Every structure is written in C-alpha cells, then in structure tokens.
C-alpha cells in the first residue's frame, strides 16, 4: 500500500462518506426520475428507465462498498510524480486554492478577466508555496492580459474586460 | 486497397502548410506537456477543448493527433529521468528506464524509447489505416441492439479490468452515467436531474466535465499532497544508442508493437496490461536476464513500443464504432461531439477528409516527434525543473478560462469547482476516473441506442439480444464479470481461505504497483 498507516486509519472512517454519497446520488436519481412524466415513449423503456437503473446501481454500490469497508477494504489514494502520500491532505492549501478560484468566479463579470485572472493566478501560486511576490505578480498580469488578447484576437472569444474597458 | 488510396488523399489534406503547422504545434505542445509531471494527454486535450469553439474540425483533430502521440513520448522522458512513478502507461518503462538512467545509460534509454515509439507508432498507424475500413464494413451492418451491447461491454470492461476494486470502478461508472443523464432527455423532451436550474437543461458541457475531472481534480489532488522535497531528476546529455543497443532493441520493438496494437483496440484499460505483458515477455526472452532489475534495455524498448502501438490501436474503435477505450479517447470523442460529429461506421464516408487527414497527420507527427526528441531530449528534460507552484497554478488558470469560455457564464465556473471537487474525492478514495469519463461521454449515446433498439422491437426486451452479434457480446460481458470472481474464489480456497483485508479481492498483477488504479490512462 502506498499510503502510510496514519493516513489509512483516518481514511477508514471517512470512506463511509463515499458510500453515503453514492446512496444520496442514487436516491436523488430515482426520486427525480419518478417525477418525470413520459407519455411519448412506448414499451418498457422510457425517460425514467435509465435514471432509475443508474440510481439502483449507485445504491447497490453504496451497500457493497459498506460491506467491503466493514471487511477491511480500503480505497487506494492515487500516486503520481509530484504526489507524496506520506503526509495527509493539506487542507490549508486546498482552502486557499478554492478561495482563489471562487474569487475569480465572483469577480470575473465585474472586474473583468485581466484582473480576476491575475488574482486567480497570484492566489494559487501563493497557496502552493511561492513567495517571490514581484515575480508572481508579473507572471500573473502577463498571463491574464496575454490570455485575454489570445482569446480575443486568436479565437474571437471575448472574455469580460470589466474595469479595463477602453484600455485593452 | 481502399485504405491506401484514402490515406494518400489524407496526406494531401495533412500536408497543406496550415495543417502541417497545426501538426507541429500539436506535437510540440503534446511533448512539452507530456514531459511536465502530473499532466497526461487526457488533461492536455481537455484543456485545449476550447479551441474547438472556433477552429475547423480537421485542424483541431490534426492538432489533437499530434498531442496524442506527443504526450506518450513526453511521458516516457519523465518516467526515465524522474525517480517517481508517473502516468500509468509509463509505469513499466519507468522500472528499467530509471535504473538505466541511474547507471549513466540514460541517453540509451531515451533513444530506445523514442525510436521504439516511432517504429511502433508508424506500424500501428499503418495497421489502423488498413484495419479501419474493414471494421467499418462489418460495423455498417450492426444495428442498435449490437451497438448497445458493445457499449455495455465497454462499460464493464473498463470497470472490471482497470484498477484493483470492482466496486469502486462500478461506483465511478454510476457517477459518470448520472452526470451524463443531467439535462433534457432528447427522446421525450423531459428535464432530468436539472434541479430546475435552467443552465443545466442543456446538460453539463463536455469541456466543463473533462476539465473539471482531469485538470481541476488532478491539480487540487496534487496540491494537497505536493512533495515538499521535489523528486530527484537524473541528468542526461542527449539521446543516442550504440550498435549493441540497436541489436538488443529491434526485436522488443517489433514484439511490443504486435502486443500493443490489438490490446489498444479492445476496451481493456489502455496500455497498462499490454506494457506489463511486453515486460514479462522480454524478461523471459532476453539473453541478459541478469540485467533485468538493474536497467535492461529490452525492458524499456518493449513496453515503450507497446505503449505507442496501443495508442494507435485505441483509435480503431474510436473512429469506426465511436467507442473510446481510454480516457484520452473519451475526451477526443467529446471533442467530436462538440462539433456535432458522432464517430461511428459512417464517419469514414461522411468525414473522409477529416478522418484520413487525421490518420495521415499521425504519420507526419511521428516523424516530427522523432526529429524533435532525439536531438532535443536534454532541452525537454529541463521542463522537469519548472517550479511546481507555477505549473499547478497554470493548470487551474487555463481550466478556468476554458470552462468560462464554453458558455461565457460564471455558472460553469462554479460547476467546474464542484466537478473538480468530485475529481479530488475520487482520487482520494480510490474511485478510478476513467470509467466515469467514459460513462459521461458514452452514456447518453448508449441510452439512445437502447431506446432505438426497443422502438424497433416495439418494446419487446428480446429485441436487445435478437442478433447473433449482440448475443456473443453479452456472453463476453458475463464472462468478464464471472471469471475473475471464480478465479479469485478458487485461489483463496487454495490459500486456505485467508481473504479479508483485500476487500473485494480482485488483485492486479502485483508488480504493476498500486498507482495505476486511478491514473487517467492514455
């Protein structure tokens, strides 16, 4: 196993959350499907069939996964070139990343991509541990303004300009 | 030889200056991104999907073809020079390749990988050109029940063959099918699983799904576990091999090609199993068994050729049946769909220019790759030094642009974050990502075939199994589900019934390592 014992132990209980998620998704699929009225289709298969089948599959897997977990089964966390599984998930980094991402989603329409994209890049590099603030700021601005022009001139897609309207 | 004539026409398409330019761009991008750790070809194509909004389909696919092969080359460089496991298909190459590099034979390892990939890619592409028209002749006679059966086979094969846990594979398949169902049902016009949100009525954009699962999910996952001391990179100058290396490499190249192509064409988890088989075979056939485990060149040449041949093989079902066998192929299918093109037996007729241009540019791409990789190996290797914060920040940055540009709506950015979160948790808890992406892309097509088949049979369920072809396929599906369980039972009885801590107990070839269950595949 690639994960350390501490990570595996911690993962043990949270894996029941996966079963719960599957159960919830399965129930949602079935409840939603029951609300669909399909008068156009004939025969045993209509718009409800596939969602109900998928819902049943998900619920069945939730049950089997629970059995597997009780018997001691564990999901293997994914490895990779830059992945070190000997320490647990770094939630501070994740929080900062999600924060930067959300900032971009909230600000893109008002401030425009050249600014919100720069905030996104600066924030994510900071979250990932870079501390050369001048270099980070320069790269952020070059990337966000550059990608705005690339999309506008190269692909004809107009990303929001926001505050910089008239300047770019 | 209709394939050959069509191929010559394809070269006519591919060799126009503008298309050649796109091939070069694709190859350079593919190699560069393939070398970068943490980014595979599936993520690369996902991040570049926004180009399909404005680019001509032929040019887009010529570029994707370059990325497809370029990503393989780049991946092998990474696994030889970086002392950590990387992409699934390169795991085997990494074993002996990395040992060779440590012994100071890195140049030979890079050269045998590059030349082997070239030979396997060229033979594999030729085989694709010859086989595809024949498959189409058969496929054109298949009806909806047959297609539905093949899709069931693809779903079951990709979940049972890949990874170490069937339950988690099937759970991932279910999640994918669920995501694929969101939106208005095209047959009845009813909204399904949309929660009343108007933006979900058209379904979730393939760009958002692919970028979310591969780019955002992967970047978040790696960010949470970033190595604090970057992995050691082995220095190497150039890529070349001596006469002895050639003598020991050419047979493994050809054998690898032979194993890789057919395995790539069936939905059995991409290049993992054939590269492992090739490694085992070379180990058995070598005249230098003592070198295996200490850096044997055959152990690099064989698996690397297998890897590229299986990439070529994977294009056969994609182009002739519309069935993706790997994550990369699934994302490419998504790209076809975003052009309103549904790959299948009629594709070769209706879009002959596109398909044969694509195949021809695979040949051209291979030549460009060899020319780029042999002399420039050292320069590519420098990409491994890129500071990780900028690399993963860049992935999130381009993922955000792509998802936003799909519909210029912030709703898609929030959706991207949710799907990225899903990708993170799947990686965390060992749910393989490949079944999910294949189910998302293929699920709606399978449903359509199912309902068409039942309309033809007037609602009789026997209409699904009333052709000989579909019967055979379902038998294979049942065998895939039953045989591994039986084998496992028998084995555990022989061991004296000491099952327990393996959970649902399906074990892979042990020396494959445990990374591959969740890798995005090629």
**pLDDT tens digits for range B458-469:** 888 888 888 999
Contact: B503, A44; criterion CB under 8 Å: no
Given a cut of 50, whether residue B504 has pLDDT beyond it is no
CA B191 to CA B449: how far, in whole Å?
19
Using CB atoms, pick whichever of B193, B503, B517 lies closest to residue A73.
B503
Which positions in chain B touch A101 (Cβ < 8 Å)? 396, 400, 413, 417
**pLDDT at residue B378 in the model:** 84
Confidence category of residue B450, pLDDT binned at 50, 70, 90 = very high
Residues 6+ apart with CB under 8 A from B108: B100, B240, B241, B242, B245, B297
SS (H, E, C) A15-79: HHHHHHHHHHHHHHHHHHHHCCCCCCCCCCCCCCHHHHHHHHHHHHHHHHHHHHHHCCCCCCCCC
Mutate to test the interface with A, among B393, B430, B432, B519 (most CBs of A within 10 A): B393
Say if CB B190 and CB A47 are below 8 A apart: yes
Chain center to CA of B267: 10
Residue appearing with tokens 């959706």: B415
Which range is least confidently modeled, A6-20, B126-140, B170-184? A6-20
Which range is least confidently modeled, B105-109, B263-267, B312-316, B415-419? B263-267
Using CB atoms, pick whichever of A25, A38, A64 lies closest to residue B175.
A25
Question: Terminal CA-to-CA distance of chain A, rounded, Å?
Answer: 53
Region A75-88 average pLDDT: 80
Confidence category of residue A5, pLDDT binned at 50, 70, 90 = very low
DSSP B236-285: -------HHHHHHHHHHHHHHHHHHHHHHHSSS-TTHHHHHHHHHHHHHH
Contact: A101, B417; criterion CB under 8 Å: yes
Using CB atoms, pick whichever of B38, B54, B425 lies closest to residue A80.
B38
**pLDDT at residue B327 in the model:** 87
What would the pLDDT profile of B364-423 be if each residue is shown by its tens digit? 999 999 998 888 888 888 888 888 899 999 999 999 998 998 888 899 999 999 999 999
User: CA Rg, chain A, in Å?
Assistant: 23
Given a cut of 50, whether residue A82 has pLDDT beyond it is yes
Given a cut of 50, whether residue B512 has pLDDT beyond it is no
SS (H, E, C) B334-389: HHHHHCCCCCCCCHHHHCHHHHHHHHHHHHHHHHHHHHHHHHHHHHHHHHHHCCHH
Residue B253 Rama label (left phi>0; alpha psi -120 to 50; beta) = alpha
Contact: A120, B84; criterion CB under 8 Å: no
Contact: A78, B188; criterion CB under 8 Å: no
What would the pLDDT profile of A153-166 be if each residue is shown by its tens digit? 888 888 898 888 87
Structure tokens at B319: 């182009």
**pLDDT at residue B501 in the model:** 42
The CB density around residue B16, as the number of other CB atoms within 10 Å, is 14
**Of residues B382 and B255, which shows the higher confidence score?**
B255
With CA atoms as reference, report the closest residue to B237 among B113, B371, B106, B116: B106
DSSP B186-197: TTT--EES-TT-
With CA atoms as reference, report the closest residue to B402 among B72, B43, B21: B43
Confidence category of residue A140, pLDDT binned at 50, 70, 90 = very high
What would the pLDDT profile of B1-30 be if each residue is shown by its tens digit? 567 888 888 898 888 999 999 999 999 988
Residue B432: Cβ-neighbour burial (10 angstroms; 0-12, 13-18, 19+) = buried
In this prediction the pTM is 0.88
Residue B73 has, within 13 A of its CA and on its CB side, a CA count of 37
Structure tokens at B51: 């180009």
SS3 B183: strand
Which positions in chain B touch A85 (Cβ < 8 Å)? 225
Task: Please name the residues between 48 and 107 in chain A that touch chain B, using a CB distance below 8 Å.
Answer: 50-51, 54-55, 57-58, 61-62, 64-65, 68-69, 71-85, 87, 89-91, 93-94, 97-98, 100-102, 104-106
Closest residue of chain B to A160, computed from CA coordinates: B408
**pLDDT at residue B353 in the model:** 87
SS3 content of chain B, % helix, strand, coil (to 5): 75, 0, 25
Mutate to test the interface with A, among B225, B232, B512 (most CBs of A within 10 A): B225
With CA atoms as reference, report the closest residue to B376 among B110, B103, B56, B41: B110
* All structural domains of chain B with their residue ranges: 2-518
Rounded to a whole number of angstroms, the distance from the CA of A83 to the nearest CA of chain B is 5
Residues 6+ apart with CB under 8 A from A79: A2, A85, B85, B513, B514, B515
Contact: A37, B401; criterion CB under 8 Å: no
Rounded to a whole number of angstroms, the distance from the CA of B74 to the nearest CA of chain A is 13
Confidence category of residue B144, pLDDT binned at 50, 70, 90 = very high
Structure tokens at B2: 């209709």
Scored b (16 or more CB within 10 A) or e, B221-231 reads bbbbbbbeebb
Region B93-119 average pLDDT: 90
**pLDDT at residue A7 in the model:** 47
What would the pLDDT profile of B57-105 be if each residue is shown by its tens digit? 999 999 988 888 888 788 888 888 886 655 566 778 878 888 898 888 9
Phi and psi of B258, rounded to 5°? Answer: -65, -40
Residue appearing with tokens 């010559």: B8
CA B235 to CA B258: how far, in whole Å?
33
Quote the Cα angle for B58-B62-B68, to 5°.
140
Say if CB B115 and CB B248 are below 8 A apart: no
CA distances from A130 to A93, B46, B335, B391 (A): 12, 26, 35, 11
């Amino acid at each position: 196993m690639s994960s350390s014992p501490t990570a595996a132990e911690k993962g043990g209980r949270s894996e029941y959350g996966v079963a719960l998620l599957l159960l919830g998704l399965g129930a949602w699929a079935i409840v939603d499907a029951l609300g669909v009225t399909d008068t156009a289709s004939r025969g045993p298969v209509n718009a409800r069939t596939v969602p109900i089948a998928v819902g049943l599959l998900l619920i069945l897997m939730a049950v089997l996964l629970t059995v597997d977990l009780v018997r001691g089964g564990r999901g293997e966390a994914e490895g990779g070139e830059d992945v070190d599984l000997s320490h647990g998930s770094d939630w501070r980094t994740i929080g900062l990343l999600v924060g930067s991402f959300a900032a971009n989603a909230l600000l893109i329409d008002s401030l425009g991509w050249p600014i919100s994209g720069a905030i996104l890049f600066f924030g994510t590099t900071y979250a990932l541990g870079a501390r050369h603030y001048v270099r980070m700021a320069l790269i952020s601005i070059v990337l966000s303004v550059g990608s705005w022009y690339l999309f506008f001139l190269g692909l004809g897609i107009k990303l929001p300009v926001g505050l910089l309207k008239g300047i770019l | 030889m209709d394939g050959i004539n069509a191929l010559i026409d394809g070269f006519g398409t591919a060799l126009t200056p503008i298309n050649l330019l796109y091939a070069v761009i694709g190859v350079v991008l593919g190699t560069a991104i393939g070398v970068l750790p943490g980014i595979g070809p599936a993520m690369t194509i996902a991040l570049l999907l926004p180009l399909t909004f404005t680019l001509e389909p032929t040019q887009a696919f010529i570029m994707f073809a370059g990325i497809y092969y370029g990503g393989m080359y780049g991946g092998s460089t990474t696994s030889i020079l970086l002392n950590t496991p990387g992409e699934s298909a390169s795991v085997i190459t990494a074993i002996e390749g990395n040992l060779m590099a440590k012994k100071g034979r890195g140049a030979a390892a890079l050269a045998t990988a590059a030349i082997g990939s070239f030979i396997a890619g060229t033979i594999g592409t030729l085989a694709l050109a010859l086989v595809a028209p024949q498959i189409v002749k058969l496929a054109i006679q298949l009806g909806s029940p047959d297609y539905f059966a093949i899709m069931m086979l693809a779903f079951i094969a990709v979940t049972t063959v890949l990874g170490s846990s069937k339950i988690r594979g099937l759970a991932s398949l279910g999640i994918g099918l669920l995501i694929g169902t969101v939106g208005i049902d095209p047959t009845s016009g009813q909204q399904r699983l949309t929660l009343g949100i108007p933006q979900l009525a058209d379904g979730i954009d393939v760009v958002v799904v692919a970028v979310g699962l591969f780019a955002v999910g992967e970047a978040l996952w790696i960010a949470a576990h970033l190595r604090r001391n970057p992995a050691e990179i082995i220095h190497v100058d150039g890529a070349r091999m001596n006469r002895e290396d050639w003598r020991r490499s050419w047979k493994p190249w050809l054998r690898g090609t032979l194993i890789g192509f057919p395995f790539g064409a069936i939905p059995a988890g991409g290049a993992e199993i054939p590269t492992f088989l090739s490694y085992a075979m070379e180990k058995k056939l070598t005249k230098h068994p003592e070198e295996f485990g200490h850096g044997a060149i055959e152990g690099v040449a064989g698996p690397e050729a297998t890897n590229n041949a299986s990439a070529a093989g994977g294009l056969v079902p994609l182009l002739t049946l519309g069935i993706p066998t790997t994550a990369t192929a699934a994302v490419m299918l998504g790209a076809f769909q975003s052009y309103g093109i549904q790959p299948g037996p009629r594709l070769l007729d209706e879009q002959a220019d596109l398909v044969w241009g694509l195949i021809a540019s695979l040949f051209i791409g291979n030549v460009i790759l060899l020319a780029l990789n042999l002399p420039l190996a050292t320069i590519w290797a420098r990409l491994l030094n890129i500071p990780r914060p900028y690399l993963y920040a860049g992935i999130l940055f381009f993922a955000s642009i792509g998802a936003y540009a799909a519909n210029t709506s912030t709703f898609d950015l929030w959706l991207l974050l949710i799907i990225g979160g899903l990708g993170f948790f799947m990686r965390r808890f060992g749910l393989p990502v490949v079944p999910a992406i294949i189910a998302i892309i293929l699920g709606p097509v399978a449903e359509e075939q199912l309902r068409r088949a039942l309309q033809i049979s007037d609602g009789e369920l026997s209409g699904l199994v009333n052709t000989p072809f579909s019967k055979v396929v379902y038998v294979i599906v049942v065998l895939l589900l039953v045989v591994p369980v039986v084998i496992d039972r028998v084995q555990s009885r022989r061991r004296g019934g000491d099952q327990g801590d393996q959970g649902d107990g399906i074990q892979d070839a042990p020396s494959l390592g445990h990374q591959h269950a969740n890798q995005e595949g090629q």
